[in-house]
Amino acid sequence: MVKDRRAKSAQQAISRTLGPLRDHVHTLTYDNGPEFSHHQKVNRDLGAKSFFAHPYHSWERGSNENMNGLLRQYFPKGKSMKAVTKTQINAIVERL
């Protein structure tokens, strides 16, 4: 879970979450948000390469956009995530 929108927080969350899967992570595609400015640290942590999608080219992040659509079934846009528990998230991950 990311505690805020700072680049260091995003980098730590990505590295922590994908670290156990590092043998399967070869590339990561980001949008151009400033929260991904520590992508080079993630690359070192995971042994992966980073790519950045062009603005307004959502098809360059196809699997991400697909997952967003699936997650919206459980978390509609605008719904607060503050009351969502780790147990609930894990159950949704298992279903997906």
**pLDDT for 16-46, tens place per residue?**
999 999 999 999 999 889 999 999 999 999 9
pTM for this model (two decimals):
0.71
Maximum Cα interatomic distance, the chain, rounded to a whole number of Å? 35
d(CA 20, CA 90): 16
* String of DSSP letters for 46-62: HT-EEEEPPTT-GGGGH
Is residue 33 within 8 Å of 52, Cβ to Cβ? no
d(CA 25, CA 23): 6
Residue 87 pLDDT > 90: yes
- pLDDT at residue 65, rounded to an integer: 85
pLDDT per residue over 38-86, tens digit each? 999 999 999 999 999 998 888 888 888 898 899 999 999 888 888 899 8
Residue 91 pLDDT > 90: yes
Identify which has the larger pLDDT, 1 or 25.
25
Helix, strand, coil proportions of the chain in percent (round to 5)? 55, 10, 40
